[in-house]
Structure formats: C-alpha cells, structure tokens
Structure 1
Amino acid sequence: MKAFQVNAPHDFAVVEAELPSVGSGEVRVRVAFAGICGSDMHIIHGDNAFVRYPRITGHEFAGVIDAVGEGVTEVGVGARVCIDPVISCGECYPCRISRPNVCRSLEVIGVHRHGGFEECVVVPAANVHVLPDHIGLDAAALVEPYTIAANVLDRMQPHPGDALLILGAGVIGLTILQMARAIGLGEIIVTDIIDERLALARELGATHTLNSREVDVEAEIMALTDGEGIPLIADAACVPALLAQMLRVASPAGRIGLLGFSATPSELVQLEVIKKELTLVGSRLNNRKFPEVLSLMTEGKLDPLALVSHRLPLSEMPDAIDMLEHHPEKARKVLVRIEA
C-alpha cells in the first residue's frame, strides 16, 4: 500500500508500506481523506521534539473500518469514522483528573505512531468516532482541527457574549472563529498579515479584521473596546514575541490561550499580569472534544469545507508540501485524497 513517510528532517516521499495487522482492541481504517496540518510541517522541518523517524504522519483523517481486532464490539467493519489522535494511559495524574490530552505517557497518532497519510492505518478502537450519515468523509477529516479550537476556548472559560481576539487567520485561527460563533461569543477581531486570509475571516463571521503589517493593532483594539481591552485572546499565530502585546491589550480579568510550541522565550511583564489578574492558559491537542464538534457539525453550525483550498491525491503530497512551504498565501487547508 502507499504511504507518505518522513524519513528524517527534510527527507520525505510517498513509499510502499506493509498492510498493518490488527491487534486486540484495535481497528484498521481504510483512510479516505487526511488533512495537512502545521504540525506535519514541523515534523518535516525537524522542529517537533516528540516525533521519532521514520514516521508516517497525519493526525487529521477519516475513513471506513475494514477490520476489527479481538475484543472490539462497539464498532464493526463498514463503519464510517473519524479518529481522535490522542492516546493516553488512564492512570497518571492528568488522566486521573480528566486531562488525558497532557498524559505523562501521551502518544499522538501521526507523531508517536504511524498516522493517516497511508491507505490503511491501525488505531485503538476507543479512539474512533462513528459519523452521522450526512457528514461526508472529507468534512470528517477536519473534525480534529475544530477540536483544537474547542479545547482552547474551553480552557479560556468564556462567558456568553465575550469579545475575542484571534491572532492569526490560518486554519486554526479560522476554526477558532467558527467555534466562537457557534458557542455564542460576541465581537470577534482577527489579525493576520495576509489579506486573503483576512477576507475569508470576514466571510466566516469576523466582526473586524486587522492586517498587522498595515495598522497599529494595539491602538485599533483599544479603540474598538473603548479603552477597556479585550477579555479573550487566542494566540493562533504562535509567535513568542507577541505575548507582551497580548498582555497589554487584554482587559482586566482577561484570559489568554496559548497554542504554540516554540522554545523561544517570551517577554512576560509581571505587572501586566498581576494588576489585571490575567489568566494565561496553555492548550494542547483536545480533551475529548470530538463529540462536541460532531454535534455542532450535525447542527450546521460549523462549515469545515469552507476551509479547504486544495484537494490532492496522495501521490501529489510532495507538491502540496512545496506549496505550503513557499506559497502559504495560496493555501488554507489542503485535503489529501488517500488512494486505495
């Protein structure tokens, strides 16, 4: 079977791989679609500290179960599913307090073990979610990015009608925007440096968009909020240098959700944090958010296919990587059709 494999940083190709066997408690999924994520690019660049090479990447995917292992009774062959990539031990402190997404022994499908950029992949049966009939496999492959959005918003504990600032209008920023609309937040300000992304943000319901290369973002936000600052800030740009600005534009009692994995230090002015009693929270992966996202998709409150700019077969995966690398303004979510 065919698979996209990263052998080492900057060394990747579509290769022949063996059909995986199914163990106890596992299912084998014939993958239909998989999405390329920024974290896949980090693996290609060698910037992911958790990956071990060679690795078949891909943690955003959906398909049809074609084999089940011993003891699996909750799903069967032929079920249409999407897959939660978070695998936890169930015993450590985070797991005991219902935070399995930061399990001490955390494994992520597509990072610690082979993922969805292959024709068939074996995953724990506990990690599959059966799809409602009207959700297509292409849309289902994008459930996972929305769980990232759901998780960071949950970590920030929003109140109904809270205003939100989203830094970055890439795919994660746009999923946060759609999730914020779906759960009833108020005004939503989105910043980016690419006008095409900001245009889509407006189409998806952003109240205000700001090109941070062209305007003074801090002054604009304070003007839009009558000098109060903004209660919720989601950092989907993941640029460490922006933290100091986030602290300044946050309102008193504001909450800031951080998503980046950069090891570069950020400037943190303690005075800003203490005088406003700000809350800074990290958000990693998702904490059992698949049912919530599937429910919102079923209700028509999320539009995952609006994020898709390209659909390509697995054989063209290297070309997709090149486009994302050198022409990011042309691409949003690239959806890969896995060829059987």
Structure 2
Amino acid sequence: MMRAAILVKPGRFEVEERPIPQPGQGEVLIKIAQVGVCGTDLHIFNGHYAADSLPLIPGHEFTGTIAAVASGVTGFQLGGKAVVDMNVGCGHCFWCRRNEVLNCPDMRQMGITMDGAFAEYIVVPARLVIPAPDAIPFEVLVLTEPLACVVRAARKARVTFGQSVVVIGAGPVGNLHVQLLRTIGAAPIIVADLSEDRVAMALECGADIGVTDPAQLHQTVMDATEGRGADIVIESVGNPTLYKTALRLMRKGGHLAAFGLTGVDERLALPILETILHENSVKGSVAGMGQDMHDALTLLVHGRIRTKPFTRATYPLTDIQAAFETISDRPKDLKTQIVMAT
C-alpha cells in the first residue's frame, strides 16, 4: 500500500492508503521523492480548474526513482533518478509527431485530467520518463517541468540576444522566465509585479529593471527602449487587464507571449489594422513537453538556473493541506515542494 493525497473537493485534501499501482505494457513505476506545487495545482485546489476531474490526486511537477518496469521495457536502471513529462498524448497523431501534444485529441495530463504525483508511487508511460543524474538533488530535479514550460515559451517567442523583454509577473514562473532570458542574452529585462519581495528576487536572479507601481510601468519601459516599447512582452499572470497592458508595452513589430492562464471565457481584443500594419505577433504557450523537458534538465544539470529561491519551503505529504492553505501568505517562497517520507 501507499499514501496518496486526494483532492476530494475544492479546498479539501484527504491522505488515504491506496494500492501501489503496477506497471503494465510499456510503463514504468516511479517511486516519487518530491513534487512541486504549481499555480495550476492552486487553481484546481480552489475549484477554478478541472473541477470535473475530482476526486483527483493532483501534482505534475515531480521527480523520483525507477522502482519497477514492465516486461519488455528497457533503458532504465532500477533505483536511478528520473523526471517525467506530464503530457500524455497518443504518440502518433499529427500533433504528437510535431511535439504539439496539448492539441492531441486523446491528450491527458498527469495531476489534472488523470491521477498525478501527490502520492508515493505513480505509473507512467516509459516514453515519457527521462533518466536524470544521481548527483543532482531531488529539490532541483523537481524544477524540470516548470522550467520546460519557460523553455518552450522562449522557443515559441524566438527570443535572442540583445532583445528587450518585459515579464509581467514575478512569481515562480516569472522568475524562471527572467533567468532563462538572462541566459539567452536578452537585454534589458524588465520585470513587473505588485510584490516588492518577488521583484527584489527577480532582480537578484537576473532582471535589469524592476517595477512595482503599475502607474510607472509604461514610462519605465519606454525609457528603457528609447521610446519604442519592448521587443517581447511575456504575460505570466493570467489577468485579462494585464494582457491589454502587454499590448501597449510592445514596440511596433513586437511580440506578445501569451503564457498566463485566464478563464475560459476571457477575450483579448486585438487592434486588427494595427496588428497587420505593424507586423505584430501573438503566440500562446503554457506547457513544456518532449525536447523542452530534455533542454530544461540540461540547464539544471549545468547550473544555469539559480534554484535556491525555489527550494526553501518543503512539507511532508501529511501536511499538504497546510502547504496549500498558506501559500498566499508566503510570497518569499517561490516554490512549495511536497516531500515523500521514506
């Protein structure tokens, strides 16, 4: 038997005993070590997302060790560390072949539309398991999935050196955006958030300019870009008003990276003629998958990301309720991690 945290209804976890799942054809059993709490997990916890999936074991940012493999599965070392791509597509359709798994008609996501990682064990498709170096701590490996999301966003936006970028939102993913942009060579990097603590951390992690007063944001961006506006603006909050702000911060010919999740009915009115004449662009991106996961793991293995701000807050599985209930009171904890006791 194993322990698992089941979200039985919005706002309520129950830790229960469940049978340890067994890997079937083409599957691997992962003994989970640590799981990161994602903003999506909070949306699910608060009843804003995936309510039709409850009761559910959430959790999709996870790492652990290979505990067992099904007959015929090769290439894995029992006891070896691993991370897992949480996006489960059919593997052979038009979209899966293009690494656009979120558009697969049969797509499912661990911890969102199927049981996830807030448990001591999970069975996953072997093709989604990525072996990781034993020397890298679990609290660092658990950042692979959120960093992969940022890698994909940068890839979609075609960020390159010397480009000015505004990151709206200095939370966990906003901070990772800043760090990856710094690694790529974007400049200047301007980060905006109402939280002074989180803006300060973003500045420590690589942002060039921080803004906490919304009334000063537009002028700050114009001053930093010779009055043009930013080459790229990343909305990493999921607020329709901030998406409108993002459009005003872009230069002519600029790019809006739509990253923050909004409600399903929210709309953004694009000025069509201006978009055409200025050759502006908008590209959505939210989840890392496939090669994004491998690239994110490589960046972590080689120390390209400052991980200490993400590893301070850890809770045992038995305290998962308290971990979720107190997240909003802990803005200095960029990432809350759930640790499985051994």
- TM score, norm. by length of structure 2: 0.94
Worse-matched range after superposition: 224-233 or 241-250: 241-250
SS in 2 for 1:33: strand
User: How many pairs are equivalent?
Assistant: 338
Q: What code does the residue aligned with 1:310 have?
A: A
Which position in structure 1 is the counterpart of 2:20?
19
Output one character per residue of 1:279-315: Cα deviation in whole Å (capped at 9) or x when no partner: 1011031132111112112222112233233111111
Question: Percent same amino acid at aligned positions?
Answer: 30
Shift, 1:229, TM fit = 0.6
Shift, 1:268, TM fit = 2.8
Listed as ranges, the gaps of 5+ residues in structure 2 are none
Which position in structure 2 is the counterpart of 1:107?
108
SS in 2 for 1:56: coil
Shift, 1:330, TM fit = 4.4
Worse-matched range after superposition: 179-188 or 144-153: 179-188
Give the distance between the partners of 1:270 and 1:311, measured in 2 at CA.
47
Which position in structure 1 is the counterpart of 2:193?
192
Q: How does 1:14-163 map to 2 (within 5 A)?
A: 14-49=15-50, 52-163=53-164
Listed as ranges, the gaps of 5+ residues in structure 1 are none
Which position in structure 2 is the counterpart of 1:203?
204
* Counterpart selection for 1:280 from 254, 279, 282: 282
Q: Is the CA contact 1:51–1:111 (under 8 Å) kept in the aligned structure 2?
A: no
Q: What code does the residue aligned with 1:309 have?
A: R
The answer on 1:218 being equivalent to 2:221 is no
Q: What code does the residue aligned with 1:6 have?
A: L
Q: Is the CA contact 1:144–1:290 (under 8 Å) kept in the aligned structure 2?
A: yes
Question: Runs (4+) of structure 1 moved beyond 6 Å?
Answer: none
SS in 2 for 1:280: strand
Q: What code does the residue aligned with 2:299 have?
A: L
Q: How does 1:164-175 map to 2 (within 5 A)?
A: 164-175=165-176
SS in 1 for 2:288: coil
Which position in structure 2 is the counterpart of 1:228?
228
- TM score, norm. by length of structure 1: 0.94
Which position in structure 1 is the counterpart of 2:294?
291
Q: What code does the residue aligned with 1:281 have?
A: K
Which position in structure 2 is the counterpart of 1:304?
307
Which position in structure 2 is the counterpart of 1:317?
320
Shift, 1:60, TM fit = 0.5
SS in 1 for 2:53: coil
Q: Cα RMSD (Å) of the superposition?
A: 1.7
Q: What code does the residue aligned with 2:244 have?
A: A
Shift, 1:157, TM fit = 1.0
Give the distance between the partners of 2:74 and 2:277, measured in 1 at CA.
55
Give the distance between the partners of 1:27 and 1:76, measured in 2 at CA.
11
Shift, 1:204, TM fit = 0.2
Shift, 1:50, TM fit = 7.6
Q: What code does the residue aligned with 2:39 have?
A: G
Worse-matched range after superposition: 148-157 or 96-105: 96-105
Give the distance between the partners of 1:98 and 1:308, measured in 2 at CA.
30
Q: What code does the residue aligned with 1:159 have?
A: T
Q: Is the CA contact 2:140–2:311 (under 8 Å) kept in the aligned structure 1?
A: no
